Chains A and B, each alone.
Chain A
Amino acid sequence: MAETVVLARPEQLSEAGQAALRGLMRAWFDFERRLSRVPMIQRLEIGTFTKADYLQLLLNLRQQVVEGSRWISRCASSFDRDHADIRSVILGHAHEEHRDYEVLEHDYVTAGGDLAAIRSHLRNPGSEALHGYMMYRASEPNPVGLLGAMWIVEGLGEKMAKDWAMRISDLPGVGEAGTRFLRYHGQNDQNHLSKLYALLDRLCTSEAIAADILRTAAVVGRLYALQLEEVDVE
């Protein structure tokens, strides 16, 4: 019975969709600059990042990755029957990602970390805030604003794969075998973009919705950066 729902890339976007896309691009660039101010990411960019930094990063990412598939599933279930196509797309996504954390744990152990330690590690304050906000938004009826969250989180996945994975796999004792999680999200960029255009075309039908999408992107960007800032606090 189940068919895979694929949203087709639109020829062009409406004016509201174009304005929202411009806003999302700016939200992304702002998020990237925010990341570049995080001390750990600064070390990564200037080449002083160490394996200990990497272990600490994975330790702090794991809880959010575990929770990620929960808020994606919650988001799917909050869409009503008029958004059945959207629900299908999101459920497919949740299915794809719901065991990502196992890859991350494997990388952690490969790089010399202790499995029991990462499994028992608590969410850092930034992860708490991010998770709380995501679950709250995903519980609202038809949470279209979360398109802004998807943009930031998927964009970061691609950034990890393109900008971070190579630098980190060069570290002694890490290698490609220890960076599978980071690499994983760099695949199918073009599909990600087509999906974004399709979702914007489908969902961004008013200025109020566009504003909600951009607001959500801004909040998620801030909270994600907070989660990474907290990596250094411990």
Chain B
Amino acid sequence: MPAGARARSLSAYVTSTGSFLPGPPIDNDQIEDILGLIDGRPSRLKSRILKANGIRTRHYAMDREHRTTHSNTELAVAAARHCMQASPVPMRSLRLLSCATTQGDLVIPGFGSMVQAGLGMPEVELHTTHGICSSGVMAIRAAVNSLRVGDQPNALVVVSELASRLFKHTRYEAAGGQFNMDFDAEFLRWMLSDGAGAWLLEREPRGRCLRVDWIRSYSHADSLPVCMSIGRPTDSTDGRSWQDFPTYAEAEAAGALLIRQDVRLLDHIVKLGVDGALRLIGEGLLDMQRLDHLLCHYSSHHFRSRIFDMLQMCGAGVPDEKWFTNLYTKGNTGCASILIMLDDFLKEGRAQPGETLLCVVPESGRFNMAYMHFTVVET
């Protein structure tokens, strides 16, 4: 095989993107109108947590009566259709479907099966990843690898989240209400919301698109405790999983179906995110001086103060104008965030041929830090 052909066979390009956010933007004052008041009382922590995360609007696939307006599968399908409508590639020619979500509509089968059926895609190779925020990068990674080894000519990656169903006031009341709630159980109620994103990957470039330069991730589950989870009861001395209870009703009453964030451990996420970036600089993969755009699934204001100062001094700082985020208006949609963010970024038209782009997805679940590097190319 000539060198040029080999180089081409090792490439993958993001040639189209799409996203879908359900319903109208919901501002901070309307959140409890949708999610409901726990025990009929407004939250005392809400404004503090919202102030810290900076989110101003988000979307929910649920109405005020707690009727689901779009299933998770429907969110994914809508994003996938937006992505494919923007591309001349016909849906029927897609060969690989790679999907991720934190919680599908069904516990089993895999989320990808439901998305495939929703899209009516015949005979595709199917891939579903499992995890939290970084599972979207895992789905992208699987698609990129498949293209790079030459197994498939194209792949559609669809990543979707429907977190709001976890945040109904009735869920918290079933676990004992405000009396039994701690900061950790309430934190994510003011953080996460719904949405889906999709990317089309091809082996050849098409128009103005992104070449995937590399994807790397570093997981630290061996050294740190669980930081974000569903499945453990409120009583931390009770080691049972939600599946160990005699009935699901008992698991719910014990708080084992609430989504929790151990906020005391969150500092690690910034440090480990920086650690991975320094490692990539050390490996010669990443050059912060030459980086043009940074898309991070974590708001930049968490990088202020000390660690920000050190990044500047060590030559790894990224000036504010290179950061792009839609977190404050589109909300934190977990594993779908980075796909929706790239879609918004590309539609703004800022990316010029030759420029480089770094996507950073730190997952707090048990600390998995993922990085994707792209170069803008034009055919």
Given known contacts A26-B275, A29-B275, A32-B271, A37 and B222 CB-to-CB distance under 8 angstroms: yes
With A and B bound together, what is the CA distance between A48 and B239 in angstroms? 13
Within 253-278 of B, Cβ neighbours of A (below 8 Å) are at: 264-265, 267-268, 271-272, 274-275, 278
Chain A residue nearest to B274 (CB atoms) is A25
Contact yes or no, A13 B224, CB < 8 A = no
Within 210-248 of B, Cβ neighbours of A (below 8 Å) are at: 220, 222-225, 236-237
- Chain A, 5-29, contact with B by CB distance < 8 Å: what is the 0/1 string? 0000000110100110111011001
Q: Does A45 contact B (CB under 8 A)?
A: yes
Q: Does A42 contact B (CB under 8 A)?
A: yes
Interface size counted on chain A using CB atoms at 8 A: 28
Given known contacts A33-B220, A36-B223, A47-B236, A25 and B275 CB-to-CB distance under 8 angstroms: yes
Given known contacts A29-B271, A29-B272, A29-B275, A22 and B225 CB-to-CB distance under 8 angstroms: no
Which residues of chain B are within 8 angstroms of A30 by Cβ–Cβ distance?
275
Chain B residue nearest to A20 (CB atoms) is B314
Contact yes or no, B313 A26, CB < 8 A = no
Given known contacts A37-B222, A46-B225, A193-B310, A26 and B271 CB-to-CB distance under 8 angstroms: no
Q: Does A197 contact B (CB under 8 A)?
A: yes
Q: Does B33 contact A (CB under 8 A)?
A: no
Contact yes or no, A25 B314, CB < 8 A = yes
Closest CB in chain B relative to A17 CB, distance in Å: 8
Contact yes or no, B236 A21, CB < 8 A = no
Contact yes or no, A25 B315, CB < 8 A = no
Contact yes or no, A21 B306, CB < 8 A = no
Chain B residue nearest to A200 (CB atoms) is B313
Q: Does B151 contact A (CB under 8 A)?
A: no
Q: Does A34 contact B (CB under 8 A)?
A: yes
Q: Does B291 contact A (CB under 8 A)?
A: no
Contact yes or no, B222 A25, CB < 8 A = no
Q: Does A154 contact B (CB under 8 A)?
A: no
Q: Does A189 contact B (CB under 8 A)?
A: yes
Given known contacts A29-B275, A32-B271, A45-B225, A22 and B236 CB-to-CB distance under 8 angstroms: no
Contact yes or no, B224 A33, CB < 8 A = yes
Q: Does B282 contact A (CB under 8 A)?
A: yes
Closest CB in chain A relative to B368 CB, distance in Å: 14
Contact yes or no, A18 B282, CB < 8 A = no
Contact yes or no, A36 B224, CB < 8 A = yes
Contact yes or no, B310 A26, CB < 8 A = no
Given known contacts A21-B310, A21-B314, A26 and B279 CB-to-CB distance under 8 angstroms: yes
Contact yes or no, A25 B278, CB < 8 A = yes
Among A15, A46, A163, A189, the residue within 8 A (CB) of B236 is A46
Interface size counted on chain B using CB atoms at 8 A: 26
Closest CB in chain A relative to B308 CB, distance in Å: 11
Closest CB in chain B relative to A151 CB, distance in Å: 11
With A and B bound together, what is the CA distance between A36 and B278 in angstroms? 20
With A and B bound together, what is the CA distance between A19 and B222 in angstroms? 28
Chain A residue nearest to B314 (CB atoms) is A21
Closest CB in chain B relative to A204 CB, distance in Å: 12
Among A12, A42, A190, the residue within 8 A (CB) of B313 is A12
Contact yes or no, A42 B278, CB < 8 A = no
With A and B bound together, what is the CA distance between A15 and B313 in angstroms? 10
Closest CB in chain A relative to B78 CB, distance in Å: 40
Contact yes or no, A18 B313, CB < 8 A = yes
Among B223, B237, B315, B316, the residue within 8 A (CB) of A34 is B223
Contact yes or no, A22 B315, CB < 8 A = yes
With A and B bound together, what is the CA distance between A25 and B272 in angstroms? 11
Contact yes or no, A18 B275, CB < 8 A = no
Which residues of chain B are within 8 angstroms of A190 by Cβ–Cβ distance?
306
Within 314-350 of B, Cβ neighbours of A (below 8 Å) are at: 314-316
Given known contacts A26-B275, A29-B275, A21 and B265 CB-to-CB distance under 8 angstroms: no
With A and B bound together, what is the CA distance between A37 and B223 in angstroms? 5
Q: Does B89 contact A (CB under 8 A)?
A: no
With A and B bound together, what is the CA distance between A42 and B265 in angstroms? 12
Contact yes or no, A45 B271, CB < 8 A = no
Closest CB in chain A relative to B272 CB, distance in Å: 7
Contact yes or no, A13 B314, CB < 8 A = yes
Contact yes or no, A45 B315, CB < 8 A = no
- Among A25, A36, A46, find the residue whose CB has the most chain B CB atoms closer than 10 A: A25
Contact yes or no, A18 B314, CB < 8 A = yes
With A and B bound together, what is the CA distance between A94 and B60 in angstroms? 58
With A and B bound together, what is the CA distance between A13 and B311 in angstroms? 12
Which residues of chain B are within 8 angstroms of A197 by Cβ–Cβ distance?
313
Closest CB in chain A relative to B273 CB, distance in Å: 10
Ordered nearest first, which 7 A-B pairs have the shortest CB separation? A21-B314, A29-B275, A33-B223, A18-B315, A22-B314, A36-B223, A18-B314
Can you name 21 A-B pairs with beta carbons within 8 Å? A18-B315, A22-B281, A22-B282, A22-B315, A23-B282, A25-B274, A25-B314, A26-B275, A26-B282, A29-B274, A30-B275, A32-B271, A33-B223, A37-B223, A42-B225, A45-B264, A48-B236, A48-B237, A193-B309, A193-B310, A197-B313
List 7 additional contacts besides A18-B315, A22-B282; criterion CB under 8 Å. Answer: A23-B282, A26-B275, A29-B271, A32-B271, A36-B223, A36-B224, A193-B310
